[in-house]
Amino acid sequence: MNMVHKPIPPLVLPSDQDASGRTLGDEEITLVAEAIRSGTLTCTKGKFTREFETRFATLIGIGHAHACSSGSAAIHAAIAAIDPEPGDEIITSGITDMGALTPILYQGAIPVFADVDARTGNLTAASIAERLSPKTKAIIVTHLFGNPCDMTAIGELARSRDIPVIEDCAQAFFAQHRNQAIGSFGTLGCFSLQQGKHITTGEGGIVVSNDAALARRVYLFNNKAWGYGDPSPDHYFLALNYRMSELQGACALGQLPKLEDVVQKRVESAQKLTASLQGIPGVETPFVASTDKHVFWKYCLNIDQAIITGGAVGMGKVLKEVGIASAPRYIQKPAFRCEVIAKQRTFGKSRWPFTLARPEAIDYDAAKFPGTFTYLERVLVLPWNERYTEEHLDFLASAIRGAALRLAEGNGA
């Protein structure tokens, strides 16, 4: 047992916040330089963003793709395409990025939170079914950390009620369910190209769909609803400028051919780490359904605080001592406990659109969310990267094993 107390020499892991962990290079530089030399930096006139959209649609195996300025903008455009009435309800998860939630409020709809599976943090068909109401206008599912939701069950439920599904794939590029690309199951799929995602343009997003009419509305929403190319164009409805620039489009075009390899490396490394973490009391490796391909935006452990003193937070502290910056709890609290939602801080003092909500729709009593609170209490998020070597993986594995055994001592494990 003394072996586990042997100091582990710190190792600096590649980071997705700088060149050490970003797969950016000459391909992007050449394309961005070409965009700049062309003098055309708007996608309404240039070719790069359009080319990125076409190629991305092909890779996902879907009919239409429209790029935009961020993942949040992508979600906003998808909701705007569905066009809820004020006070309509959109069922979603309390464990997601705030950028997937505020667009619901901007479109005058009410986010109705469903509970999640305590193992994966993902919504399930059963948890969504509990929150359906006659006012449900859409469902937004986040494939958390790149681990797919059960799109077979969720798709069946949604079709039976004729409710559109928006897939938030910001963390799930090239993830699969039953050998089909995540993003192609829902009515609309949304991706982010923010700095820390699988591929990046700094900021950026893209919406995909097989529904031509909805895809057209996404395009219009990102373009102030101006009907470019129409016989008598007008600003057809309330909309914004959420366009991706040609600089981002050129960068995205450079990133795209690298995506498959980025995903493959992340998956292979994750499988290796999972194999070397088996049998550690109190430490659960990621649960992935046998039908699914998880693409590991991050690598998450579930920590049992009955065995590990201090639980995920305790593990995080010990890992920090050897320079591993993990994130216990992912987000510190469910989204419905954040001020914007809990205190209804929206437009002036109006609290709109919460003023339109059914009381049950905005009841955030913890008893309704056992999976959500359990998941957040147990999860320890490890940074993940396609540049991890065997050395990095060994370092992570021994640091995690060492921390877990140290914190389990005296707990009868």
Ligand X SMILES: *Cc1c(COP(=O)(O)O)cnc(C)c1O
Q: Is the Cβ of residue 99 or residue 334 nearer to ligand X in the bound state?
A: 99
Binding mask 26-65 for ligand X (x = CB under 6 A): ----------------------------------------
Map the footprint of ligand X across residues 166-185, applying CB under 6 A.
168, 170-171
Q: By CB under 6 A, is residue 205 in contact with ligand X?
A: yes
Cα–Cα dist 84/168, whole Å: 18
Closer to ligand X at the Cβ: 87 or 249?
249
User: What letter would DSSP give residue 274?
Assistant: H
Q: Which residue is nearest to ligand X (CB)?
A: 71
DSSP secondary structure code for residue 117 in this structure: -
Among 107, 136, 194, 200, binds ligand X (CB under 6 A): 194
Token pair listed for 8: 């582990």
Q: Which amino acid, one-letter code, is at 247?
A: L
- Two structure tokens written together for 54: 């076409």
Measured from the CB of residue 88, what is the shortest distance to ligand X in angstroms? 21
Decide whether 292 or 314 has the Cβ nearer to ligand X. 292
At position 186, the amino acid (one-letter code) is G
Q: Give yes or no for a contact between 171 and 200, defined as CB atoms under 8 angstroms apart.
A: no
Q: Is the Cβ of residue 16 or residue 168 nearer to ligand X in the bound state?
A: 168
- Check if the beta carbon of residue 205 is closer than 8 Å to that of residue 190: yes
Name the residue nearer to ligand X (CB basis): 242 or 395: 242
How many CB atoms sit inside 10 A of residue 284's CB?
16
Of residues 142-171, those binding ligand X (CB under 6 A):
142, 168, 170-171
Among the listed residues 84, 50, 46, 80, the one whose alpha carbon sits nearest the alpha carbon of residue 67: 50
* Contact between 23 and ligand X per CB under 6 A: no
Rounded to 10°, the helix 48-60/246-255 angle is: 40
Q: How far is the CB of 147 from ligand X (least distance, A)?
A: 12
* Token output for 195: 């700095």
Task: Name residues contacting ligand X, limited to 271-290 (CB under 6 A).
Answer: none
Distance in Å, CB of 174 to ligand X, minimum: 15
According to CB under 6 A, which one of 28, 62, 66, 72 is a site residue for ligand X?
A: 72
Nearer to ligand X, 207 or 277 (CB): 207
Binding residue for ligand X (CB under 6 A) from 53, 88, 89, 97? 97
17: CB partners within 8 A, 6+ apart: 195, 196
111: three-class secondary structure by DSSP: strand
The distance of closest approach from Cβ of residue 148 to ligand X in the complex, given in angstroms and rounded to an integer, is 13
What distance in Å separates the CA atoms of residue 122 and residue 167, rounded to the nearest whole number?
Answer: 12
Closest distance of CB 73 from ligand X, Å: 7
* Six token digits for residue 143: 């494939």
Is residue 295 classed exposed, middle or buried when 0-12, 13-18 and 19+ CB atoms within 10 A define those classes? buried
Closest contact distance (angstroms) between CB of 207 and ligand X is 12
Binding residues for ligand X, rule: CB under 6 A, are: 70-72, 96-97, 99-100, 142, 168, 170-171, 192, 194, 205
